Structure 1
């Protein structure tokens, strides 16, 4: 007599193997989603780094006058308009308007002048930032920029 179908043990083994495959696939997918989210957060920090580097480098380089304290950078442009950068509540502001996104927290920024002449500062601007939702995603970078010698108008 020939039997058609599967035995109970065969079905239980098939269900167990399917369950293991499902668990493994779920773990891999969870890992991929977490990795993708972390990469998006790192990309957000990279974008802020690029934006701040371009913004501050161009404005300091072509400034008429540059003054700073530990928390404020003030740039007088050639047309005598003023750009004031401040760090307030984790956001970098330019003339009281945020220039960093809400999901990136600027933890600290420090400005030092390494120039030997007061007329044309050479600044090191160090920015310490992290992602707002995941503080383990962090970055610290330095911008080194000098005011151009020909930038000041006589």
Structure 2
């Protein structure tokens, strides 16, 4: 009788240990799949941003439809998976920021680009931007007037 209880205890403890190991493997697999998903959306964000930076529309309508599709994709991604959306947008914003650092008048973007690029990086907010550097001196105007005095009788 004692040996049956010992065998039952070993079987019970063994099954608990096996289930715990399987749960650990499943959770590690889930974490790996999630990180793969994040890296996918980060890569996708960089690729989309690079395509947008090089995009020139043949017609105004095609340009509008392209940017509308991009916004719809981002909106759908945000509703589907917020973490993936944040990873996608962070990669996209970083790519826009890197481009802004070396982009001057030699880059010829279409007018619709500046409308939408301001959303990703604040430097693009003004169309056909030229970096304006603040002057090292400031000018002030001071006027001094003589007081007026009136006497009435």
TM-score normalised according to structure 2 size:
0.46
Q: Could you say which structure has the greater relative contact order, defined with CA pairs below 8 angstroms and 6 or more residues apart?
A: 2
Greater C-alpha Rg = 2
Pick the structure with more helix per residue: 2
Pick the structure with more strand per residue: 1
